[in-house]
């Protein structure tokens, strides 16, 4: 009994203590919420106003060799705390001098600036914007040296806000695929970083995590004291090759200028891996010039009727089921054939047609009538079987690349409401369906890759501080799209097009190519196939090379060419130029050049510390005892010597011979806007070295 009383007493004490503790907590909460409210609100407001984010540096987007495609350059916003004690004390005496220096520095009106300064000073503005545009590092340092920016005067309230601006050293090259927008472009994740392209696809790796800092006033100067350090983003290494991209872009641009087309795209893909090495997209801007306006290669706007390049898919379906062989003969008549109330024409029907042709000749001459007769002969009444087999190729589904705005293909089915009498015939040669150019490239790449269909690959790996963080392997969509027998026949058909058919003008004496021309009449944005009596055409060529050992697949599509519109004469020359340059640059052994080894390499001008590190790693004999941040290298027979690369403030620097990234850094810090073309070393600069720099001036540099 005594034990029970003792246990009860102990529990009672515990309950009592817990109750008292709870009452204390509730009371304290009540006091915090209802007593000293203004005090706590003030503390919260002060904490909010004086806490700022430290922006994490966004990771770089690199080409396949590590060269920079998109990077972040720091820019600075200049603000002033007009309520700073020292500014208050000297304002009446020094405000005019400060306004004059700022006006001269930025080339603005002193009167307008002083008017705004006085107005904000009276309000006690602690976040006064000195100049609406951001400045670079060099401008910031010069601004700080103004006499009125002394810490005892207006410098005591200077607040420098650092922001990172996304820049592309190679200008607009592959910009829609990379996803970096022009400065000032509408939308984007962070400033001029787009939601689409690799920027959007790899946002989780590139963005990093922002840090936190508290604003504190030390000795009259506001500074940010970090409390949480930022975690910078990782670098993304893409599959894009700068040289191949340059080849594709230049070849496409020249043809667009010649044909005055609406838009065009060119894709170069590595056969075995599916790595997209180049993807050029050019559309017409409002001012009539051509630029990367949209990613036509994989986006919705590029999803259109493929035309004759689809004949390969139709013939492979029929051959796979054993219905037809390359030697089988069909009568194409006079090149015009009435089928279910519609007339199907061959492109050269006005010359009387070709009469009887083998299936191989039908394909080589791209006969619409011949292909339609083959498919309708064996699949009329069994339309589902034909479409199902097309679906089995994976052509009715998006590639699932993860890019925002990826186009969705459309291949109608026999039980769809829009299926009508001649649909089977029209689909057989590429009408009444929609594919993106990249889907066509993926299929042709599978044929080149012995039937193994791989997903187009844009990103190779992610690196943090140079260390591999994640590697992306090649994804196989379909290990075998058809039998080996059908595949060999399909490959022979494609080779025949470039030897005896519509693509023979693309042939060359150095290596064999295989491919298919395509010419399609396309609709005017759902307004029909004719507008004001004018028809709209799409010219294309899809193929791979070398035909006997395929290394690269290339697809070119050009929409709305003026004048001639056939695939062989519009898209074909672009294909030919691209593959010729790729072969000469990447596939030709050039034994003589390989056997010639220079005694000493050519070293670009640049930053002294970087050159010294590289020279030490390669054991190069460079005499670099020069007291200069920038140096240029003189080529000797047995030794490389360095001399200072003088950069006078306010004058155009000499960047000839420098690498692109070093030249970009130097010119932008000098206050110039830079437009860059090509790759390699700077061969030419538009502004003469030593000339005085004017505010907002642009310099064009050619690399080679």
Of the listed ranges 260-264, 358-362, 476-480, 528-532, the least confidently predicted one is 528-532
d(CA 556, CA 541): 5
The helix or strand, by DSSP H or E, that contains position 544, with its residue range, turns out to be strand 534-545
> Is it the case that residue 330 has pLDDT exceeding 90?
yes
Burial of 47 (0-12, 13-18, 19+ CB in 10 A): exposed
331 neighbors 377 (Cβ within 8 angstroms): no
Packing angle of the helix pair 311-320, 383-392 (nearest 10 deg): 110
607 versus 656: the higher-pLDDT residue is: 656
437 neighbors 297 (Cβ within 8 angstroms): yes
> Is 281 strand, coil or helix?
strand
Is the preceding peptide bond at 337 cis, omega within 30 degrees of 0? no
Of the listed ranges 72-81, 278-287, 392-401, 545-554, the least confidently predicted one is 72-81
633 neighbors 605 (Cβ within 8 angstroms): yes
The helix or strand, by DSSP H or E, that contains position 558, with its residue range, turns out to be strand 552-559
pLDDT at 25: 80
d(CA 298, CA 301): 8
> Is it the case that residue 317 has pLDDT exceeding 50?
yes
> Is it the case that residue 190 has pLDDT exceeding 60?
no
Give per-residue pLDDT as tens, 501-525: 999 999 888 899 999 999 988 776 6
Give per-residue pLDDT as tens, 438-472: 999 999 999 999 999 999 999 999 999 889 999 99
Q: Would you place residue 591 in the very low, low, confident or very high pLDDT band (cuts 50, 70, 90)? A: very low
Structure tokens at 132: 């609406």
State whether the Cα torsion 498-500-501-506 is positive or negative.
positive
282 neighbors 264 (Cβ within 8 angstroms): yes
pLDDT at 590: 46
> Is it the case that residue 185 has pLDDT exceeding 60?
no
d(CA 319, CA 327): 11
Give per-residue pLDDT as tens, 356-385: 999 999 999 999 999 999 999 999 999 999
pTM, 2 dp: 0.74
The helix or strand, by DSSP H or E, that contains position 362, with its residue range, turns out to be helix 359-364
pLDDT at 597: 43
57 versus 372: the higher-pLDDT residue is: 372
Q: Mean pLDDT highest for which of 64-68, 173-177, 548-552, 658-662?
A: 548-552
Q: In what order do the strands lie in the sheet with 630-635?
A: 606-607, 630-635, 640-644, 622-623
pLDDT at 485: 97
pLDDT at 595: 44
State whether the Cα torsion 432-283-494-449 is positive or negative.
negative
> Is it the case that residue 9 has pLDDT exceeding 90?
no
226 neighbors 212 (Cβ within 8 angstroms): yes
Q: Would you place residue 596 in the very low, low, confident or very high pLDDT band (cuts 50, 70, 90)? A: very low
> Is it the case that residue 30 has pLDDT exceeding 80?
no
509 contact partners, CB below 8 Å, separation of at least 6: none
Q: What are phi and psi of 571, to 5 degrees?
A: -80, -30
pLDDT at 403: 92
> Is it the case that residue 534 has pLDDT exceeding 80?
no
Q: Would you place residue 230 in the very low, low, confident or very high pLDDT band (cuts 50, 70, 90)? A: confident
Cα separation of the two ends of the chain: 101
Sequential DSSP letters for 595-635:
H---SS----BEEHHHHHHHHHHHT--EE---S-SEEEEEE
**Which has the closest alpha carbon to 324: 365, 375, 364?**
375
Region 633-643 average pLDDT: 67
pLDDT at 188: 46
Burial of 624 (0-12, 13-18, 19+ CB in 10 A): middle
pLDDT at 45: 57
Share of the chain above pLDDT 90, in %: 51
pLDDT at 351: 82
Packing angle of the helix pair 437-448, 311-320 (nearest 10 deg): 40
Structure tokens at 164: 């990172």
pLDDT at 599: 54
208 neighbors 233 (Cβ within 8 angstroms): yes
pLDDT at 559: 94
Chain Cα centroid distance, residue 75: 22
Give per-residue pLDDT as tens, 121-170: 999 998 899 999 989 888 999 999 999 998 778 888 888 888 778 888 88
Q: What are phi and psi of 398, to 5 degrees?
A: -60, 155
pLDDT at 521: 86
pLDDT at 78: 93
pLDDT at 502: 94
Burial of 421 (0-12, 13-18, 19+ CB in 10 A): exposed
Region 188-209 average pLDDT: 76
606 versus 496: the higher-pLDDT residue is: 496
> Is it the case that residue 76 has pLDDT exceeding 50?
yes
């Amino acid at each position: 009994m005594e034990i029970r009383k003792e246990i009860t007493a102990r529990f009672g004490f515990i309950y009592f203590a817990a109750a008292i503790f709870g009452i204390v907590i509730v009371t304290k909460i009540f006091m915090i919420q209802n007593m000293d409210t203004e005090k706590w609100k003030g503390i919260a407001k002060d904490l909010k106003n004086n806490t700022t984010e430290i922006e994490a540096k966004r990771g770089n987007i690199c080409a396949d060799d590590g060269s920079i495609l998109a990077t972040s350059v720091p820019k600075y916003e200049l603000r002033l705390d007009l309520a700073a004690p020292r500014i208050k004390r000297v304002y009446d005496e020094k405000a005019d001098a400060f306004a004059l220096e700022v006006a001269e520095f930025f080339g603005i009106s002193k009167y307008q600036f002083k008017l705004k300064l006085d107005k904000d000073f009276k309000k006690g503005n602690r976040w006064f914007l000195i100049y609406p545009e951001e400045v670079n590092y060099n401008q910031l340092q010069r601004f700080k040296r103004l006499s009125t920016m002394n810490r005892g005067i207006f410098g005591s309230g200077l607040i420098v806000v650092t922001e990172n601006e996304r820049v592309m050293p190679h200008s607009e090259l592959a910009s829609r695929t990379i996803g970096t927008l022009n400065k000032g472009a509408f939308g984007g994740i962070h400033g001029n970083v787009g939601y689409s392209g690799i920027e959007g696809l790899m946002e989780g790796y590139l963005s990093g995590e922002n840090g936190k800092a508290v604003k504190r006033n030390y000795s009259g100067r506001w500074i940010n004291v970090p409390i949480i350090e930022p975690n910078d983003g990782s670098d993304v290494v893409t599959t894009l090759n700068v040289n191949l991209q340059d080849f594709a872009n230049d070849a496409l641009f020249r043809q667009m200028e010649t044909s005055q087309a609406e838009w065009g795209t060119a894709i170069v893909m590595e056969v075995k891996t599916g790595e997209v090495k180049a993807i050029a997209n050019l559309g017409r801007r409002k001012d009539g010039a051509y630029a990367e306006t949209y990613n036509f290669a994989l986006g919705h706007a590029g999803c259109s009727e493929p035309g004759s390049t689809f004949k390969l898919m139709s013939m492979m379906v029929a051959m796979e089921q054993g219905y037809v062989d390359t030697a089988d003969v069909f009568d194409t008549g006079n090149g015009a054939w009435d089928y279910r109330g519609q007339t199907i024409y061959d492109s050269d029907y006005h010359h009387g047609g070709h009469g009887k042709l083998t299936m191989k000749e039908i394909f080589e001459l791209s006969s619409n009538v011949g292909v339609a007769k083959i498919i309708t002969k064996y699949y009329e009444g069994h339309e589902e079987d034909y479409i199902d087999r097309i679906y089995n190729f994976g052509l009715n589904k998006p590639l699932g690349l993860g890019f925002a705005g990826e186009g969705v293909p459309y291949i109608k089915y026999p039980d769809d409401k829009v299926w009508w009498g001649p649909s089977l015939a029209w689909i057989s040669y590429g009408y009444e369906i929609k594919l993106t150019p990249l889907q066509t490239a993926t299929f042709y790449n599978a044929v080149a890759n012995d039937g193994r269909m791989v997903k187009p690959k844009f990103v190779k790996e992610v690196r943090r501080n140079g260390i591999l963080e994640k590697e992306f392997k090649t994804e196989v969509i379909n290990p075998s799209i058809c039998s080996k027998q059908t595949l060999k026949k399909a490959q022979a058909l494609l080779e025949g097009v470039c030897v005896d058919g519509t693509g023979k003008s693309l042939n060359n004496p150095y290596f064999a190519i295989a491919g298919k021309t395509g010419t399609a009449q396309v609709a005017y944005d759902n307004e029909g196939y004719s507008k004001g009596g004018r028809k709209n055409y799409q010219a294309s060529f899809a193929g791979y090379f070398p035909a006997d050992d395929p290394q690269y697949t290339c697809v070119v599509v050009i929409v709305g060419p003026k004048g001639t519109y056939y695939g062989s004469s519009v898209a074909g020359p672009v294909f030919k130029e691209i593959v010729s340059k790729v072969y000469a640059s990447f596939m030709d052994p050039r034994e003589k050049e390989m056997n010639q080894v220079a005694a000493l390499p050519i070293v670009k001008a640049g930053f002294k510390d970087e050159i010294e590190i590289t020279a030490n790693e390669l054991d190069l004999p460079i005499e670099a005892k020069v007291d200069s941040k920038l140096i240029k290298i003189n080529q000797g027979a047995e030794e490389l010597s360095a001399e200072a690369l003088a950069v006078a403030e306010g004058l155009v620097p000499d960047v000839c011979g420098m690498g692109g990234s070093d030249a970009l850094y130097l010119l932008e810090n000098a206050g110039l806007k830079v437009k860059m073309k090509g790759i390699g070393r700077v061969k030419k600069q538009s502004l003469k070295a030593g000339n005085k720099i004017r505010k907002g001036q642009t310099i064009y540099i050619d690399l080679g």
